[in-house]
Amino acid sequence: MRLEVLDEKHGVIRVRIDSEDDLWLLSLLLAPGDIVKALTTRDVSLGFEKRRIPMVLSVRVEYTEFQPFTNRLRVHGVVVEGPDRFGVLGSHHTISIGIGSEVTIIKSNYDKKLLDEILKIARPINILLVAIDFDEYAIALLQTQGLKIVENRSISLPVSDEIFEKEKEIVVEELARKIVDIARRYSVEAVVIGSPGDLKVEIKKAVEGIDKELKIYLDTVANGGYAGLQELLNRNILGSIIKDTAISKAAEILEEFEKLLVKDISMVSYGLNNVALAAELGAVKKLAIVDEMVSGFNELREKVEKMLRDVVDKGGDIVIVPADTPVGMRIKMLGGVIAILRYSLELDLLTDKKGS
């Protein structure tokens, strides 16, 4: 994402969307009451006919819709600025934002510190996973949003040893070209190839023969196809590649949280009310929260944003993790947000006193 602050005093920023993950990131940045200005299309009456024509509209955001891998973020709201001749002011409109879109945003509650923190902690990842055996292979993109299957195919190799080697060589070369093509198309950071035996080594050599610049990691899996991809997701090699990403950081916080939950429960907090109170007291050292809570358009949004601002203002660390990842699902079961504290707090007692 390319982001430029045009007017810090009035919270005006310009954003260019360069990838699918940028759309996810933008969905975290937008809040109710923000104004989004962009080129869009709208049905208008021209004499006796209706036409859908392009125009620049500014919409006051009511809510957004983002579905991973659809390449679109839909922003719903009321038009506050647009061509007078079409009478669009005050009407509802949906701006569809995709890759390549450039939008101007006026934040209703601009907080540069929090904005910088969200941009930093939600840095996208983009790794290509390949799992192959002698029966099938699967290629998938591991992105911040989750796992996206690009291709999944069966392989039929002959039984005869002599023909087998020739056919295997053809499969390896074909797969290597596909890996390079997909890696270039999606600008991946690294490629992880998993297979039984030495098949992965042969594929790596073939890939390097086409593109020596690609970072390639190898691992052993028992299966090809989707099952092999699941094996790769649980391997340590991925941890070494994406250790600085939101998913792995959230996993580290969750692991520490679970240990403290048994050892000293007063050093952790979970659930919006308790974590918000701990943040207000300056007690939150690390916080992990699912993206649904940050991008939600409901009565809790204001409380979530205040909690995050309190954590940032007092020097705490924040990680936003997609709710549909394994780590995200576990945090969601704990109320959607967990925190490691700087010092011991009896939050249940504090909550009772504050409510009384």
C-alpha–C-alpha distance, residues 120 and 308, integer Å:
14
C-alpha–C-alpha distance, residues 218 and 239, integer Å:
13
Domain range 246-355, its CATH number among 3.10.150.10, 2.160.10.10, 3.30.1330.30, 3.40.50.720: 3.30.1330.30
C-alpha–C-alpha distance, residues 351 and 339, integer Å:
16
C-alpha–C-alpha distance, residues 87 and 90, integer Å:
9
Give the other-Cβ count within 10 Å of 104's Cβ: 16
Specify the pLDDT at position 34.
95
Specify the pLDDT at position 353.
43
Torsion over CA: 280, 251, 317, 107 (sign):
negative
Domain range 2-110, its CATH number among 3.40.50.300, 3.40.50.150, 2.30.31.70, 2.30.30.870: 2.30.30.870
- Report which of 177, 180, 194, 185 is spatially closest to residue 230, judged by C-alpha positions: 194
Specify the pLDDT at position 112.
79
Specify the pLDDT at position 148.
86
pLDDT, averaged per 10 consecutive residues of the chain (356 residues), comes to 84 88 85 95 84 94 82 94 91 94 92 74 75 94 81 80 82 95 90 94 96 93 93 78 72 95 94 95 95 87 91 91 88 96 74 44
Residue 166's φ and ψ, nearest 5 degrees, are -65, -45
What pTM was estimated for this model as a whole? 0.68
Helices marked H in the chain: 20-29, 112-121, 161-186, 199-210, 225-233, 236-241, 246-263, 272-280, 291-295, 301-313, 326-333, 347-355
DSSP class of residue 84 equals G
Those residues with Cβ within 8 angstroms of residue 229's Cβ, 6 or more apart along the chain or in another chain: 129, 131, 138, 140, 147, 149
Give the start-to-end residue ranges of the domains of the chain.
2-110, 126-241, 246-355
Superfamily for the 126-241 domain: eRF1 domain 2 (3.30.420.60)
- Report which of 336, 199, 200, 212 is spatially closest to residue 276, judged by C-alpha positions: 336
Tokens at residue 229, please? Answer: 């991809």
Residue 52's φ and ψ, nearest 5 degrees, are -95, 115
Specify the pLDDT at position 245.
66
Are 22 and 123 contacting, i.e. CB atoms less than 8 angstroms apart? Answer: no
Tokens at residue 126, please? Answer: 């983009």
C-alpha–C-alpha distance, residues 105 and 348, integer Å:
39
